[in-house]
């Protein structure tokens, strides 16, 4: 297990329930030993290196922004880094504000569910995020747990429609924007690039679109809510128009409980596709055609309402965002296995299989 994986696994396990590696600790490390942090940054850059932006495909339901388009509109946007804080301090895009999905989620028996609307809006306001804000969110792509998808899904739930995840994550922005080290945000600075982006935007907005003025038209193709409740899923998980998708690791699907679930197994009838299988080797979203085939290979039809779930609704939110971007009807099960397994086994059954 490399450094990045170790830090992220500690962060997940820290939800059970105490937090680990708190921000003051990292600040103290940085202040006492900036050389150590610089070394960590070198490791992070080596482990997250990619081959640059990959080509993308048009969509009438944009949730994804190409890194080149994000950098072009960055002066009008709020940039959020959704990675684990320990990774943020090793290296982040200068000017990006760190955001942790757990800070916007409930605890105890409703662990993984979003905060009540009023509290959620108050915490977003502390970050300067308002209803009309343009927000770009990046994460670790294949080096993360889908945190960027969770944040964008949360923002959409909160009514911030002009919120997008940056395709390819942190590493995809490095050719366009300067980076910073340590807990301080730094100043947002675009790099001098003589060559234009070689790849089109993944959204129908187009390369010359001002994302701050973009108008979302999701209802034209995706007409299901962003979220499904435990109660509704408990009533309808056997319905033919519902496709339940378990995006955890295979061992979790088979019944292991590494992250504190009350019971092990998977929702009856759920298909298993690991969340990273929706990304290419460099961390960019698969095309719609590739996703359609991936789903068909697992017995999921395009006309079905797809309900991804994971442990606490993070990895599943990433898959929900990718599916909705490409026009699939997808609703995240926010509390996921934490919430489902804590319920009455007669109402919320689980099954195990090899």
For residue range 54-93, what is the model confidence (pLDDT) as tens digits? 333 333 469 999 999 999 999 999 999 999 999 999 999 9
More confident residue, 108 or 127: 127
How far is the CA of 179 from the CAs of 171, 175, 176, 286, in angstroms?
A: 10, 10, 10, 27
Cβ atoms within 10 Å, residue 348: 18
Mean pLDDT in residue range 235-264: 96
Q: Which CATH architecture has domain 230-341?
A: 3-Layer(aba) Sandwich (3.40)
pLDDT of residue 191: 86
Judge whether residue 16 has pLDDT over 50: no
| Domain parsing of the chain, residue ranges | 3-218, 230-341
pLDDT of residue 37: 40
Which of 102-111, 208-217, 341-350 has the lowest average pLDDT? 208-217
pLDDT of residue 298: 97
pLDDT of residue 100: 96
pLDDT of residue 97: 96
Distance CA 182, CA 223 (A): 42
pLDDT of residue 64: 96
Distance CA 14, CA 22 (A): 10
pLDDT of residue 104: 95
Using pLDDT thresholds of 50, 70 and 90, give the confidence band for residue 283.
very high
Which of 83-92, 219-228, 251-260, 294-303 has the lowest average pLDDT? 219-228
Read off the DSSP letter of residue 104: G
Asked, colleague to colleague, whether 3-218 and 230-341 share their fold, the answer is yes
Judge whether residue 262 has pLDDT over 50: yes
pLDDT of residue 45: 41
Judge whether residue 268 has pLDDT over 70: yes
Mean pLDDT in residue range 38-65: 48
Mean pLDDT in residue range 304-318: 97
pLDDT of residue 354: 61
Mean pLDDT in residue range 81-106: 96
Cis? peptide before 17, omega within 30° of 0: yes
Q: H or E stretch including 142?
A: none
Using pLDDT thresholds of 50, 70 and 90, give the confidence band for residue 193.
low
Judge whether residue 3 has pLDDT over 80: no
Tokens 């003025």, residue?
213
3-class secondary structure, 26: helix
Distance CA 109, CA 193 (A): 50
pLDDT more than 70, % of the chain: 74
Using pLDDT thresholds of 50, 70 and 90, give the confidence band for residue 36.
very low
* Alpha-carbon dihedral angle through residues 204, 206, 210, 211, given to the nearest 10 degrees: 40
pLDDT of residue 172: 96
pLDDT of residue 216: 39
Judge whether residue 315 has pLDDT over 90: yes
What is the chain's mean pLDDT, rounded? 81
pLDDT of residue 58: 36
Judge whether residue 27 has pLDDT over 50: no
> What CATH class has 3-218?
alpha beta
pLDDT of residue 316: 98
Mean pLDDT in residue range 309-317: 97
pLDDT of residue 192: 74
């Amino acid at each position: 297990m490399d450094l990045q994986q170790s830090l992220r696994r500690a962060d997940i396990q820290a939800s059970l329930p105490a937090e680990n590696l708190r921000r003051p600790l990292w600040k103290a490390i940085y202040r006492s030993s900036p050389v150590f942090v610089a070394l960590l940054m070198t490791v992070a850059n080596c482990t997250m290196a990619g081959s640059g932006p990959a080509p993308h495909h048009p969509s009438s339901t944009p949730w994804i922004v190409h890194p080149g388009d994000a950098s072009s509109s960055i002066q009008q946007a709020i940039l959020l880094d959704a990675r684990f804080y320990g990774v943020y301090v090793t290296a982040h895009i200068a000017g990006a504000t760190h955001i942790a999905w757990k800070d916007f989620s409930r605890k105890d028996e409703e662990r993984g569910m979003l905060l009540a609307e009023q509290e959620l809006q108050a915490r977003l306001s502390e970050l300067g995020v308002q209803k009309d804000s343009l927000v770009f969110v990046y994460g670790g792509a294949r080096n993360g747990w889908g945190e960027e998808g969770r944040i964008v899904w949360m923002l959409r739930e909160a009514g911030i429609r002009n919120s997008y995840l940056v395709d390819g994550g942190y590493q995809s922005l490095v050719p366009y924007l300067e980076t910073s080290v340590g807990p301080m945000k730094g100043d947002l600075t675009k790099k001098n690039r003589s060559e234009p982006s070689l790849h089109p935007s993944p959204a129908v907005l187009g390369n010359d679109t001002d994302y701050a003025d973009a108008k979302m038209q999701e209802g034209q193709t995706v007409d299901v809510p962003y979220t499904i409740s435990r109660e509704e899923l408990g009533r309808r998980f056997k319905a033919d128009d519902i496709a339940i998708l378990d995006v955890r690791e295979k061992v979790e699907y088979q019944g292991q409980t590494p992250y504190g679930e009350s019971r092990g197994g998977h929702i009856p009838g759920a298909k298993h596709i690991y969340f990273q299988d929706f990304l290419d080797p460099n961390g960019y979203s698969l095309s719609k055609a590739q996703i359609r085939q991936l789903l068909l290979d697992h017995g999921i039809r395009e006309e079905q309402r797809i309900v991804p779930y994971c442990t606490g609704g993070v990895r599943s939110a990433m898959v929900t965002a990718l599916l909705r971007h490409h026009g699939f009807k997808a609703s995240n099960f926010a509390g996921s296995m934490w919430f489902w397994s804590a319920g009455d086994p007669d109402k919320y059954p689980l099954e195990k299989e090899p």
